[in-house]
Amino acid sequence: MSYTGPDFDPPQRPPSSRLRSNKGYPRRPRRGPLTVALAALVPGALLGWVVYEAVGDGGSGGSGRTASPASPASASASASRTAAAPSSPLAPSAPSPRPTSPGDGGKRRTTPPTAGTGSGPLRGKVVVIDPGHNPGNFHHTAEINRKVNIGTNWKECDTTGTSTNGGYTEARFTLDVAHRLRTLLEEQGATVKFTHDGNSPAWGPCVDERARIGDDAHADAAVSIHADGSVEGNRGFHVILPGAVHSGAADTRPIVDPSRDLGARIAGNFLRDTGEPPSNYLGKGTGLVTRTDLGGLNLSTVPKVFIECGNMRDSKDATLLTSGAWRQKAAQGIADGIVGFLRAS
């Protein structure tokens, strides 16, 4: 994922060349591996969450991310979910039924079925899936460099994203996971809409339009899928939550609390289903990070989160991200979190 803008350097070579991650995160020195067993991560995450709530997100590294206090509007928006919220940031929801096939074969659907036509527990629920970036962005660098208003300031329309050292691009990864996720959610009866499907449109869409697609669909939940581009040794997943923003066209206050609930459920289920640990370089072990500089979150009027499924520049994470079997687990973890959130709402 890449949204910082000023240091964006569009690649002039094929995706296999080394790309700048441009994630908006600082390049941190390599840290050691997690020193606790995976089974101890959940209680550790709870302690990290308590610290996070008390002092704000310490993983910003001076990049401008801030943890904003809850407002009366956001508290009201989430009141109906309080009783059903997970007791821990990494507490998984009950898993949804597993599919008999790993995906839908990459079928493209630019127009989703009418909401409520499916059968299952999520009948009538609308989910918007936003596959981060677009494979066509590499050929439309002038278009994606155009600035758009994200409420707090102006940012590039979109970026190319990152890649593994072997050339597997983030855009390919996000589309694959998105297709798998769509299949899982539709089996539960949900109506699923994509912000794009590879070559439709041929590039982008811009970050403001991605948010608007979820808003116009009156989505019950929206998730943007990404993979990070940090340095070797920095590994693990993290879910990005919207901070409280009220500036220009942006007003996230009504969605802060329900988005936090959605993000916590996704984080807990992603950990359980994939075995991927929470990030060891952001989020203090909680797997949760709050940001106020992302247009896709700032301009959303529906509960929405981003998930960075792993670090493409770390060799251990890259092995997982390039595995079709693991991507199916990633889709399942995200799906289980969404299902838990929608059933509780």
Helix (H, G, I), strand (E, B) or coil at 203: coil
Residues in the chain: 345
Catalytic residues, by residue number, are 308
Helix residue ranges, H only, 36-140: 41-55, 72-77
* Residue 179, φ and ψ in degrees, nearest 5: -65, -40
* Structure tokens, 167: 């050339």
Third-level CATH fold of 38-91+125-344: Aminopeptidase (3.40.630)
Both tokens of 195, joined, read: 């912000």
Whether the bond into 97 is cis, omega within 30 of 0: no
- How many whole angstroms separate alpha carbon 252 and alpha carbon 193? 22
DSSP classification of residue 116: T
CB 269 within 8 A of CB 93: yes
**Range 281-315 burial, b when 16+ CB lie within 10 A, else e:** bbbbbbbbbbbbbbbbbbbbbbbbbbbbbbbbbbe
Backbone angles phi, psi at 9, to 5 degrees: -130, 90
Taking the CB of residue 12, how many other CB atoms lie within 10 A of it? 8
Cα 240 to Cα 74, 116, 162, 290, 323: the distances in Å are 17, 29, 17, 6, 24
Token output for 49:
């969450």
Longest pairwise C-alpha distance within the chain: 52
What is the per-residue pLDDT for 95? Answer: 55
Task: Mark out the alpha helices in 275-311 (DSSP H runs).
Answer: 295-298
Question: Domain map of the chain by residue range?
Answer: 38-91+125-344
In order along its 345 residues, the chain shows pLDDT tens digits of 643 333 333 333 334 333 333 444 444 444 444 333 333 444 444 334 433 333 333 333 333 333 333 333 333 333 334 333 444 567 666 554 443 333 333 333 333 443 445 578 999 999 999 999 999 999 999 999 999 999 999 999 999 999 999 999 999 999 999 999 999 999 999 999 999 998 899 999 999 999 999 999 999 999 999 999 999 999 999 999 999 999 999 999 999 999 999 999 999 999 999 999 999 999 999 999 999 999 999 999 999 999 999 999 999 999 999 999 999 999 999 999 999 999 998
